[in-house]
A and B are shown apart, each in its own frame.
Chain A
Amino acid sequence: MQVSNVKTWSDLDFDEYQKIKGLSYSGIKGGNFVPTPKMQLGTAVHNYLLEPAKYNHNNRDIVEPLVIALKAEIGPLLNHMDKELSITADFSHEGLTMGYKGRMDMVIMGKLVVDLKVSEHPLEKTIPYFGYDNQVNGYMSASGSEVGIIIRINPVTKKIEKKAIKKNISFWTLQIAKYGIPLFLK
């Protein structure tokens, strides 16, 4: 798979990000649903850790200890990573091309992608169920990173689990075959 025309946005609102052209992992999976309280907690943790200005400090008693635990785990690397970076790229394979977009929690372009999950369920179960490895592989391909890591924090126990994601483009080449257009039409 070839990746070209990579563009990034660091200060893009989520609403604006949604307007960008391109297929994201959640777009492919059909992610239009009403956020549950658990999802709202996940968003709050993301906001407080990665975009603190957006956090409205609701459920602070729950959110704050989670963010403290995550900061301790990620360590000094947190300061060196771009946060909530939106990215677009053209994914091409066997004469077809597809516009891709993604929004990475934490990234060092060309090196490392870190995706954060707030969940009570172990990654061993959620990765195959939700296809998080495919999601992270999209980020890895677009950002040119060899390494992808998912960090999960359990909101109840505050325990943290980390899992390295192996590079595997098969999901994305299938999407190109399904949604891509011939390169000469681009």
Chain B
Amino acid sequence: MGMQLTPQQNGWIKMAEIKANLFKELESHELMVQNLLSTPGSLESLQAAIKRAKDTISDAKERRLSFTRMLDEKLYEPAMAYEKRMNQLLDEASKKELNLRIEAKNQSIISQNILNEKAAFKVHVTNEWYRIAEEYRENLRKGIDAFYRESLHNKTPYSDKLICKCQAFISAFLPGQMVKFKPQYLTTTEMEIIYYGIEKYNHENDLQKALNQVPARFQNYENDLANSEDAIQAIIDAANRREAEVIKAISIETATNTLIAQAETVTIDTPKVKTEMKVVIVESEAWAKAVIMNFIKIWPADKLRVKSWSKLTLGQMAEALAKSGAELTNLEMTEVCK
């Protein structure tokens, strides 16, 4: 017993028969055209033959189209519909993925900025305490020097009172203020945690040391009084050299701390989002003219991929112009994320 075919299977078998018949018909049309156009004759008969050949070709095309149209409707289009639906889903998912990636990238940038700022603030506080301490110590030394020089200048005789006066003079000295840090990302709480995590400079110890050093500093005072002018100049020269050393030390220390802080800051992995410039398409004659004008002016042939110059489209020209990076006239550009 033969196998029972479904209506669809029967339809396909019939399709084969239709195809065979069509091809026979098309073949006979071709033969007819060959016959018509191969017969030598007068101008009139050739013109009549061409007209009949055109009608025959037109008829052949109609027959062919009625068959292929059926294939399109029943076969190709339904088959392609699956891909279309899948691609639509993929496009939607890709858009969602791109948005999430952009969001993740922006978040990474913010997190990185916060990390960088934390490191910058930490090094700022460290450097500022270092600078304040160095400058305070130097100010104490300068204060003693100034008092000493002034006493020499006034020819004040040496006495214990002089030492006490000098000590009282420098006791009034206070350390400098920290330069303010202008945060962009850190909260006050975050800054406080960092600030209090770094040992604060205590100037009392340095002041005490300086006070203790004053009597020793005045040991040769009476000798200096003997030639106070030269002594004053020598003290000024030594102070200038010392101050230059202090400035250098602060510069090295703060630059080193900054470099270390930058090198120690963790780099957060940032999702990559490629951006591309595109020419905004405007469906107008003016836009088409602008594309052509810019294309001729810039001629970005190296940015084009065309198999046939005769088939170059305005869209391809606009794409190549955007890729060229050149400044375009009368065309709007937009940045597209990928």
Contact = CB atoms under 8 A, between A and B. Distances in A.
Interface of A: 74-77, 80, 108, 111-112, 114, 147, 149-151, 161-164
A122 B259 CA distance: 18
B256 A112 contact: yes
A116 to B, nearest CB: 13
A74 B260 CA distance: 11
B256 A111 contact: yes
Contacts of B255: 75-77, 80
By DSSP majority rule, is chain B's interface helix, strand, loop, or mixed? helix
Contacts of A162: 259, 262-263
A108 B259 contact: no
A111 B257 CA distance: 11
A149 B251 contact: no
Contact of B260 (A75, A80, A149, A150): A149
A111 B258 CA distance: 14
A80 B248 contact: yes
A114 B252 CA distance: 14
A74 B251 contact: no
How extensive is the interface on chain B, given as a class? Answer: 10 to 19
Contacts of B251: 76, 80
B73 interface: no
Contacts of B267: 161
B264 interface: yes
Contact of A164 (B248, B252, B258, B263): B263
Given A76-B251, A80-B248, A80-B251, A108 B264 contact: no
Interface in B263-291: 263-264, 267
A162 B266 CA distance: 10
Contacts of A150: 263
Contact of B252 (A80, A147, A149, A151): A80
A-B pairs, 10 with minimum CB distance: A77-B255, A164-B263, A162-B263, A164-B264, A149-B263, A80-B252, A76-B255, A147-B260, A112-B256, A162-B262
Given A150-B263, A163-B263, 15 more contacts: A74-B259, A75-B258, A76-B251, A77-B256, A80-B248, A80-B255, A111-B256, A112-B256, A114-B259, A147-B256, A147-B260, A149-B259, A149-B263, A161-B267, A164-B260
B330 to A, nearest CB: 33
